[in-house]
A and B are shown apart, each in its own frame.
Chain A
Amino acid sequence: MTDSCVQISCVLSDIARACSFVVGVATQAGLSGRDVEHCYLVVDEICTNIIEHGSITTDCPEALIEVCCYAVPQGICIEIRDNSIEFDPLSFPLPDPSDGLDRRGDGGWGIYFLRKLMDDVRHDFANGQNKLTLVKKRTSEAVSLDSVPTSENSEPSYTLTPHLQDQRVMMISLEGRYTGVIAEAVGDDVAHLLQQGVKWFIMDCAGATGLSSAGLKHLVKLSQRVQDRKGKIIFSGVPMQIEELFGLVGLDLIFTMVETTDQALRELQKKP
């Protein structure tokens, strides 16, 4: 497995990790928000199918699904591998969206979304392994992270402090514009804290005035890093212009945002 791959367990609750990983790559590759959403949906649907229908002959939950994703010149390529029974989604009869409820079956919609939303789909089965290769091309609506709007230049900074009400939670409070330099420093600190066993983070963005493209890329990596360690990061007080930017590139799918730090704390303390 390389940095461009993640492995998830064959349990439904682990699928979001694979989806988040793909969203990160798709965002950095400059896909539009809508295209990123479609990638999220398709990976969600395919992994769900593998777990619900393909895992009969495997030793789930020990069995794994591997999702690899990397940028290609025209967009991104996603590869999904699993060791369950051979299944070619391209051979599956598709449901018809124009059917009324009386003629409409219950299943097959995940595969329908796959066929409809991906630009190229290929299935291979070799050495007891299914490999589904998907290509999503960049569309004209694509948003380049380099075109991310900038904001006023107040002096950027951040502080890291344990939450007063729950020492397990680390507060990251941002001030000013979140640039690549600040984001890299935050990333290093968070990596260090993760190694020490801290898993819960609140990123208080109430004082943030803007976000650079490099800052955004680092945020995606940061979120991925926390998730890889089975941790959680909640964003609180995100200014509207930054929230709109998250939505524009599809990151609101993987970032949990709340209004206040108190809500963020309650969100972290919720049972999974």
Chain B
Amino acid sequence: MLEFVSQFIEAIKVIHVRGRIDSSNAHELGDYLKMELTDASQQVVLDLSEVSYMSSAGLGELVAAYRRLQQHKGDLRLAQPSARVRDVLELSGLDTVLQVYSSRIDAVMSY
């Protein structure tokens, strides 16, 4: 089961995710992002430092959230993915679509 903690740093919404994201629980990430991001113009940082694994199901949820935000001038940026998650982001080319930062503070400051 995934765990989420959401907080604001100034106007940026920072969502910390914890767990392994695969096809059996990726919907939890999607549901949470839909629930939390009711303001689609929101600027968001997703802190992935405690996500130990992500399959394509998780990537799909990231893309869906990013698309929703982009349509309304919002944005989703990723912070501190583990080497394993970064590997999957790079394989799929998503690291060139989504902005990825090596720390939460770098991601927040990038806005």
Query: Which A residues lie at the B interface, using CB under 8 A?
Result: 12-13, 15-16, 34, 37, 40-41, 44-45, 48, 51-52, 96-101, 104, 106, 109-110, 112-113, 116-117, 252-253, 270
Contacts and interface: CB of A to CB of B under 8 A. Distances in A.
B63 A104 contact: yes
A96 B53 CA distance: 22
B50 to A, nearest CB: 12
Interface residues of B, number: 25
Given A37-B87, A41-B88, A45-B56, 6 more contacts: A12-B22, A51-B23, A96-B93, A101-B66, A101-B67, A109-B56
A113 B91 contact: yes
B106 to A, nearest CB: 23
A48 B57 contact: yes
B97 A45 contact: no
Contacts of A44: 22-23, 55
B84 interface: yes
Nearest to A52: B23
29 contacts: A13-B24, A15-B22, A16-B22, A16-B24, A34-B87, A37-B87, A41-B53, A41-B55, A44-B22, A44-B23, A44-B55, A45-B55, A45-B56, A96-B93, A97-B91, A97-B92, A98-B93, A98-B96, A99-B93, A101-B66, A104-B63, A104-B97, A106-B60, A109-B56, A109-B59, A109-B60, A110-B56, A112-B92, A253-B52
A12 B23 contact: yes
B1 interface: yes
A252 B52 contact: yes
Interface in B56-87: 56-57, 59-60, 63, 66-67, 70, 84, 87
A112 B59 CA distance: 13
Contacts of A98: 93, 96
A263 B63 CA distance: 33
B92 to A, nearest CB: 6
A155 B66 CA distance: 55
Most-contacted residue by chain B among A15, A34, A45, A109 (CB, 10 A): A109
